[in-house]
Structure 1
Amino acid sequence: MLLAKTLRFLQICRLNAKCPPTTAWATAPLCGATHRLYASSPIDMSFELFEGQTSDSSQAPLITMHGLFGSKQNWRGISKALAQRTNRKIYAVDARNHGESPHTTTHNSPSMSNDVRRFLEMRSYTKACLMGHSMGGRSMMLFAHKYPEMTERLIVVDISPIRVPRSTGEMQRIFDAMINLSLSPDLPLSEGRKLAQQQLLKATDSSETVQFIMLNLRKDPQTGAFSWACNAKLLSEFLPRFQDYRSHFASLPPYRGPTTFICGTQSPYMKREDWPQILEMFPNAEIHWLNAHHLVHFEQPQQFISIVTEFLNRPLSAS
């Protein structure tokens, strides 16, 4: 059942990449900078903007960041629904080293939170609502702690600030398979995808993870060369540093703004026993458990949209 759901999700992602959204949207210009290297300075993230017919520019927008190996296109359906139900502008962004955003020489939560700050300042937003899934959730949690004056409210999707469940060993094997993949430019895309899947399945027994990663495979229409949209080599180098996530909060006070966690009961990314520690970091937090795995927003989209809509529409005084 999970595999069928995941495959359907992947089909939707591919259709979204081809079909224009029904709401108004725009893609940030890349200006030829997709593969330009940066140090730790903020980058201009690629994005899509979704607006409903009655979007209120006076309200703080919602900025959504995906997880590892994801991209803004994975959030199109959710973003369209939220734009119609909340009357807010909804921005889905590509994190650095993912999607159509620049590849950089640094990848960690502090750098990605600074990218979000630049994104807001470039558009003269003094406050925003923030939502992040997995890796994106950790970036948004850190942003809220560093810049509480710019954070109206926070939504964290299936990730804990305390620890991560998956060993870096499995992830390292996946990255090694991606980095060492060698495909002839003479191969058609379908054959290249087949060989890439076979190679990745040697690194992990999760076919769902492999199918999700395969959304990153690209083939240059001019040269025929295959490549990954995500910066696999750089992400691999920074992978071990994500174990030190909590050290970023050492000198920061708790974020006391409205916060909601939406987690999957069948996902290992949030432990119920960690909740008391999480409340010390987010004293005004609540948690929702949905019958889902890690891709909570896909497996239970209607419940997810309802929870986020209610949270975003809730008067601040009642949060």
Structure 2
Amino acid sequence: MRGLPAARVRSAYELHRSSKHDAATCLNKNAPILFLHGFLGSKRENRQMSRNLAKELSRDVYALDLRNHGDSGHHPKHDYMEMALDVESFIGQHGLERPTLIGHSMGAKAALTLALHSPKLVSNVVAVDNCPINLPVAPDFLKYLESMAKAEREKVRMHAEADEILRQFDLDPPVRLWLLSNFVKQNGSPYLRLRVPLGTLKKAMGPLGDFPYSVGNVPAFPGPTLFLRALQSNFIPQSSFSLISQFFPQSEIVDMDCGHWIVQDKPQEFKEEVVRFLQKH
């Protein structure tokens, strides 16, 4: 494989193989799926759904860790264009052809950015509860970072101890479980450490509310695009529909009666919509 440009971060990943793959390479490089997680998430949260989609669609699914998340490298720049270019580099490094991009939240905006930046590289996109608009990040996300920083400062040894600290911030159990996945055992130390750079991510709060393109400064993406919209969140407001159709004229919007974490809250409905969309296109 070629080396990465200095600004690119190599993405850690899990490969979930389809039932049909080339016997010589053990890979089906045609029409793979790349699954991109949201803020403070990782490839692990999409593991079961990736397996399900690989089996249902007979396509290989790569679940990625985006920069500054999971097992991927850290970099002081954290915005959608940088993440999109990392994914573009991943596609080239692995010789993948015309992949489908599925992204949740932060991962959705990164996928949409890459589709507009390199439309010939991507066949279609599934954007899960985010869209190409400027929408300030909710204050809750800063609270998440503060709670994690406090747990790390207090040198916790077990996840249960970290959870007790997160409770002090009035966070719901599913949110605490999601945040706790970022605490890992440190070699040679009895204490848990955070695998995400909180300082970098705190500085990224502004850029993560933005979208790098505006209508008129980039051609529309010609491929099919599915937006899954959580009715109990405000990441895809109705006011964004016109902008979505201008950036992604071959798009459809499907409402899901749940909160922001669609993949976890409505796994069966999510899988059915994705399979329907991808089989159609």
Structures share a fold, TM > 0.5?
A: yes
Gap change, CA 1:190 and 1:180, over 3 Å in 2: closer
1:249 Cα deviation from its structure 2 partner:
6.3
User: Aligned partners of 1:165, 1:237: CA distance in 2, in Å?
Assistant: 13
Aligned to 1:245: 211
User: Aligned partners of 2:184, 2:32: CA distance in 1, in Å?
Assistant: 32
Check if 1:178 corresponds to 2:148: yes
Q: 1:79 aligns with which of 47, 50, 54?
A: 50
Check if 1:49 corresponds to 2:15: yes
Would you say how many aligned residue pairs link Structure 1 and Structure 2? 272
Aligned to 1:273: 239
Check if 1:286 corresponds to 2:257: no
SS of 1:239's partner is coil
TM-score, normalisation: structure 1: 0.79
User: Aligned partners of 1:74, 1:64: CA distance in 2, in Å?
Assistant: 10
User: Aligned partners of 2:160, 2:20: CA distance in 1, in Å?
Assistant: 46
Gap change, CA 1:205 and 1:51, over 3 Å in 2: closer
Percent identity, aligned pairs only?
A: 25
User: Aligned partners of 1:237, 1:140: CA distance in 2, in Å?
Assistant: 21
CA contact (8 A) 1:165 1:268 kept: no
Alignment of 1:6-25 (within 5 A): none
Check if 1:196 corresponds to 2:165: yes
User: Aligned partners of 1:58, 1:238: CA distance in 2, in Å?
Assistant: 33
Aligned to 2:116: 145
SS of 1:82's partner is helix
CA contact (8 A) 2:12 2:64 kept: yes
Q: Greater share of helix residues, 1 or 2?
A: 1
Q: State the Cα deviation string for residues 260-310 of structure 1 (Å, max 9, x = none).
A: 011211122111232112101110000111111111111111111111112
Gap change, CA 1:159 and 1:190, over 3 Å in 2: closer
User: Aligned partners of 2:68, 2:215: CA distance in 1, in Å?
Assistant: 24
Cα RMSD of the aligned pairs, angstroms, is 2.3
1:40 Cα deviation from its structure 2 partner:
6.8
Task: Mark the runs of 5 or more structure 2 residues left unpaired by the alignment.
Answer: 23-27
Q: State the Cα deviation string for residues 234-273 of structure 1 (Å, max 9, x = none).
A: 1101211223324466621111111101121112211123
User: Aligned partners of 1:150, 1:106: CA distance in 2, in Å?
Assistant: 24
TM-score, normalisation: structure 2: 0.88
